[in-house]
């Protein structure tokens, strides 16, 4: 039934253009008020709409119908973000000290490194913002309104409370509306509620006091889409006061959490800075106590600081992440926050929305049971046989065929039309034989639809609807030879069993009469059978779920859909192993305190009928257990949880702008399988970052050992600051960047996730760094002592060269923590091989190019001296490979 409000509904004319009293009603309760009361509250006549003067007054009071949005990040803000890292600040301090001491070469090198790091970070952030802007689509750009008795098409942002909006199929709802007219109007609210089935709208007040968004059938909400019919509604909320706007407010309350990588690097940088400061003070004080000149000891302390700080690490880590982000675009994953590239590699839980993420967001017929014994299941046969039930599905249907042959209309009706067509029954052909002469549109109250078609004997009526309401109206079971007895209890049990499998069940019936009956006269029907429909899982989603589970990642489904549907989809995808697994509903969750939720959150895999705040509670409860949580989704209702999660993963193609704006990662193909590929890529990237950290720290430990131990052993200062900076730039920079191309380890998706609190130096890495660093320092000091003993004037150049070549040999050995180099093959990472060769050439240039000798304070080495340098470097590689073999040997 549709309700049209007219002038004088309550004994008098609603004051046109009067005062606005909308503040008298609590937002979110408009669905509990009669349409006439809502019109009076907004002082508007629904047959005329607001006059233009009142529109201007309300526009000034309420502002534009727009959601608040963050301004684009400026170049200055992007630049400032690059200098918040402690390691960068330490480098800037080192540059200032070098400048004060007059060593402008060192200052210039450090400045170049810092600028390079900042430029890379700015470019990546700018590219991510540009890509996101390209994805953004304007929603509900225009609206059709009734103002001063005239229909007009206006920009949606110009709507004000009290406006009368006209809706038709295909329109996006431009504001929150209280409907007062609905003619077969159905609205897709999946972006707001997560429910894949379109909602039939009506104008009456629903029974009861508490209703979820999906149950407020007399409301139409901003951001949803009309799929069928037409209607009219009164604007009751605009902009930030809409349900969509309140979601945006939730996002504003939250903030970005630092990623695990950012936390690890920050903690590592702080500890390293304190250690460097302590060592420098110790060396400076010890030198003064020995009677060394203060300036020399200050220079030594600065050299030690430069040696201890891996100057290239911020730049290399940024480049590793940037190159990883570029690789992820190739697998349809857009990174919005650079540090999030590796975060997926360490997640322990993925909380996924159902509709449009794990499922296709379209209905499909799955099962058919008719009264003549026909049983059809989509998984067992390609197409059903033609029958009277399918004839009813084709004729009692408003789906249309577009020019391109695609079916258009309500997803349920298009699914039924496709099912009938697979049996050779097309509505257009059937209606040429039996034209439709009358109809009763779907009514949400009685949950059924009927159409009447002419034939030789009179008319045949077909009815479809909810089994529990349609079966009591049936008197027999249809048979071509005449109706037979109908076992109502049996068919109700069948319907309940199908619903328990997560199917939306529709019952069909028919009735033959000489002429169409009166409206509402639906009785004496003959039952035809049942059809079960489902929003099918994505074909690739099940494999992606299996891969995530194999990688030790728990997968949970969090949806606003029906519990039975959610459980069935979760079982089909392998999220739960038992089709009877428990489902935690939003109502149950609302009755739990934080302690009760924390006690069960790690055991539950399916949540149904939850609202946005409850999604955040689930994420926070998991995080309280130390879990690293990824949240995937595409709807507005997912956005707050996407932002609160450790990493939010939004859909780029079918998702909403609000969800994409709240996410760290956007899947460009809306494919859950891309998440598994992103996990693999994230783990590979973190492994390579860890390899670089091990490599850089081992080299720096060797440099610290050389500078710190030489005076204690009575040796002169073995290296100058320019030597240290050159080594760190050449050996850390080029090979470090090339580590980004290192392929994933073979077991990358068979091992459990890293503990979220795990240090970069965990699993014995710091011990390995210390042993290898001391070995490298010992070889360099041995060369220095030997050269001084024999009176070799090239001793400092030899130490410089052994340290450089030793680190290049080290990077070849550290390509894998377990697999030896000869199994990996030199050419399995060509960029690294070329980087090592180029670094060798550059080092030889500092030794043998005459005009570089004064810059680097070097002297050309003899062939014998160079041979010793290469041999000692080879010892470093051999020691690393021996360590792999020792650690990998069987116990006992």
Let me know if 853 is exposed, middle or buried by CB neighbors in 10 A (0-12, 13-18, 19+): middle
First to last CA, the chain: 82
Q: Give the containing element (helix H, strand E) for 802.
A: helix 795-813
Contact 874, 812 (CB under 8 A): no
Collect all residues with Cβ–Cβ distance below 8 Å to 344 and sequence separation of at least 6: 630, 647, 649, 665, 675, 678, 679, 681, 682
Distance CA 287, CA 293 (A): 8
Our answer to whether residue 353 is catalytic in this structure is yes
| Cα 162 off chain centre by | 37
Contact 531, 370 (CB under 8 A): no
- Output phi, psi for 257, to 5 deg: -90, 140
What are residue 630's DSSP bridge partners? 350, 647
Sheet holding 629-633, edge to edge: 333-335, 665-667, 647-651, 629-633, 349-352, 554-558, 606-608, 584-585
Closest CA to 780 of 800, 751, 809: 800
Contact 572, 550 (CB under 8 A): no
- Rounded to 5°, the CA angle 645-747-632 comes to 20
What are residue 510's DSSP bridge partners? 462, 526
CA distances from 156 to 137, 168, 232, 529 (A): 14, 15, 15, 45
Contact 723, 304 (CB under 8 A): no
What is the DSSP secondary-structure string of 307-340?
HHS-TTHHHHHHHHHHHHHHHHHHTTEEESSGGG
Q: Is the dihedral of CA 257, 259, 263, 266 positive or negative?
A: negative
CA distances from 663 to 128, 345, 445, 630, 649 (A): 12, 16, 39, 10, 6
Distance CA 462, CA 492 (A): 19
- Output phi, psi for 533, to 5 deg: -120, 160
Q: Give the containing element (helix H, strand E) for 568.
A: helix 563-573
- Expressed in percent and rounded to 5, the helix, strand and coil fractions of the chain are 50, 15, 35
Torsion of CA 749, 754, 756, 761, to 10 degrees: -140
Pick the catalytic residue: 103, 353, 398, 657?
353
Long-range contacts formed by 114-118: CB under 8 A, 24+ apart: 114/88, 116/315, 117/82, 117/88, 117/314, 117/315, 117/318, 118/79, 118/82, 118/83
**Residues forming the active site:** 353
């Amino acid at each position: 039934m549709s309700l049209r409000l007219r002038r004088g509904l309550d004994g008098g004319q609603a004051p046109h253009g009067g005062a606005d009293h909308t503040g008298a009603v609590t937002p979110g309760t408009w669905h509990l008020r009669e349409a006439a009361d809502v019109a009076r509250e907004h002082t508007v006549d629904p047959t005329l709409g607001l006059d233009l003067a009142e529109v201007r007054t309300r526009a000034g009071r309420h502002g534009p119908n727009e959601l608040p949005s963050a301004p684009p990040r400026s170049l200055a803000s992007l630049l400032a973000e690059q200098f918040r890292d402690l390691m960068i600040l330490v480098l800037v301090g080192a540059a200032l000290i070098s400048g004060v001491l007059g060593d402008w070469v060192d200052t210039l090198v450090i400045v170049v490194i810092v600028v390079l790091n900042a430029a890379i970070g700015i470019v990546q952030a700018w590219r991510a913002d540009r890509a996101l802007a390209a994805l953004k689509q304007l929603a509900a750009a225009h609206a059709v309104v009734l103002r001063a008795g005239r229909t007009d098409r206006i920009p949606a942002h110009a709507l004000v409370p009290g406006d009368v909006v006209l809706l038709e199929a295909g329109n996006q709802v431009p504001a929150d509306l209280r409907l007062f007219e609905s003619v077969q109007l159905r609205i897709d609210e999946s972006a707001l509620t997560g429910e894949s089935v379109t909602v039939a709208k009506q104008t009456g007040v629903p029974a009861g006091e508490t209703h979820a968004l999906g149950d407020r059938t007399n409301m139409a909400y901003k951001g949803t889409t009309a799929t069928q019919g037409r209607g009219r509604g009164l604007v009751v909320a605009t902009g930030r006061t809409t349900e969509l706007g309140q979601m945006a407010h939730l996002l504003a309350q939250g903030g970005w959490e630092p990623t695990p990588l950012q936390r690890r690097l920050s903690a590592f940088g702080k500890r390293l800075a304190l250690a460097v400061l302590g060592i420098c003070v110790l060396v400076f004080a010890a030198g003064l106590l020995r009677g060394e000149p203060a300036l020399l000891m200050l220079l030594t302390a600065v050299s030690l600081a430069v040696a201890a700080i891996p100057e290239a690490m911020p730049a290399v880590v940024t480049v590793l992440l940037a190159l990883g982000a570029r690789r992820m675009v190739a697998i349809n994953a857009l990174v919005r926050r650079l540090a999030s590239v590796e975060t997926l590699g360490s997640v322990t839980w993925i909380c996924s929305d159902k509709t449009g993420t794990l499922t296709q967001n379209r209905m499909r017929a799955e099962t058919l049971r008719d009264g003549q014994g026909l049983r059809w299941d989509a998984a067992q046969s390609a197409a059903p046989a033609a029958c009277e039930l399918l004839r009813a599905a084709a004729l009692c249907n408003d789906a249309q065929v577009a020019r391109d042959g695609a079916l258009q209309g309500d997803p349920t009706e298009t699914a039924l039309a496709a099912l009938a067509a697979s049996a050779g029954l097309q509505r257009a052909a059937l209606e040429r034989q039996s034209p439709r002469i009358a109809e009763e549109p779907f009514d949400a109250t009685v949950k059924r639809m009927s159409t009447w078609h002419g034939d030789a004997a009179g008319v045949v009526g077909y009815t479809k609807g909810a089994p529990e309401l349609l079966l009591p109206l049936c008197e027999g079971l249809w048979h071509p030879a005449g109706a037979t007895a109908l076992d109502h209890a049996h068919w109700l049990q069948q319907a309940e069993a199908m619903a328990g499998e997560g199917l939306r069940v529709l019952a069909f019936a028919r009735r033959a009469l000489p002429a169409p009956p009166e409206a509402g006269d639906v009785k004496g029907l003959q039952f035809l059978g049942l059809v079960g429909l489902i929003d099918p899982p994505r074909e690739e989603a099940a494999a992606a779920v299996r891969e995530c589970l194999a990688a030790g990642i728990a997968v949970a489904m969090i949806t606003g859909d029906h519990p039975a549907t959610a459980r069935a989809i979760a079982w089909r995808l392998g999220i739960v192993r038992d089709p009877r697994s428990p489902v935690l509903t939003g109502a149950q969750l609302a009755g739990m305190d934080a302690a009760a939720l924390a006690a069960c959150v790690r055991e539950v895999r399916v949540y149904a009928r939850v609202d946005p705040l409850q999604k955040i509670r689930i994420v926070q409860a998991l995080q309280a257990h130390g879990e690293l949580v990824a949240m995937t989704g595409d709807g507005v209702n997912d956005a707050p949880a996407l932002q609160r999660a450790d990493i939010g993963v939004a859909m780029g193609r079918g998702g909403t702008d609000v969800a994409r704006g709240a996410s760290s990662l956007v899947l460009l193909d809306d494919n859950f399988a891309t998440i598994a590929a992103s996990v693999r890529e994230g783990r590979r990237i973190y492994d390579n970052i860890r390899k670089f950290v091990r490599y850089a720290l081992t080299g720096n430990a060797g440099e610290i050992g050389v500078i710190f131990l030489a005076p204690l052993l009575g040796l002169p200062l073995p290296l100058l600051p320019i030597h240290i900076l050159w080594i760190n730039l050449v050996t850390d920079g080029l090979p470090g960047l090339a580590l980004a191309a290192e392929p994933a380890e073979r077991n990358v998706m068979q091992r459990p996730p890293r503990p979220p609190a795990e240090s970069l130096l965990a699993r014995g890495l710091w011990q390995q760094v210390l042993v290898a660093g001391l070995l490298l320092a010992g070889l360099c000091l041995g060369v220095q002592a030997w050269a001084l003993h024999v009176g070799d004037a090239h001793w400092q150049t030899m130490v410089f060269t052994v340290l450089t070549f030793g680190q290049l040999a080290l990077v070849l050995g550290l390509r894998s923590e377990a697999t030896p180099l000869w199994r990996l093959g030199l050419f399995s990472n060509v960029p690294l091989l070329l980087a090592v060769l180029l670094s060798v050439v550059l080092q030889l240039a500092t030794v043998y190019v005459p005009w570089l000798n004064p810059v680097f304070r070097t002297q050309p080495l003899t062939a014998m001296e160079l041979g010793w340098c290469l041999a000692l470097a080879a010892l470093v590689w051999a020691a690393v490979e021996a360590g792999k073999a020792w650690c990998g040997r069987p116990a006992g």
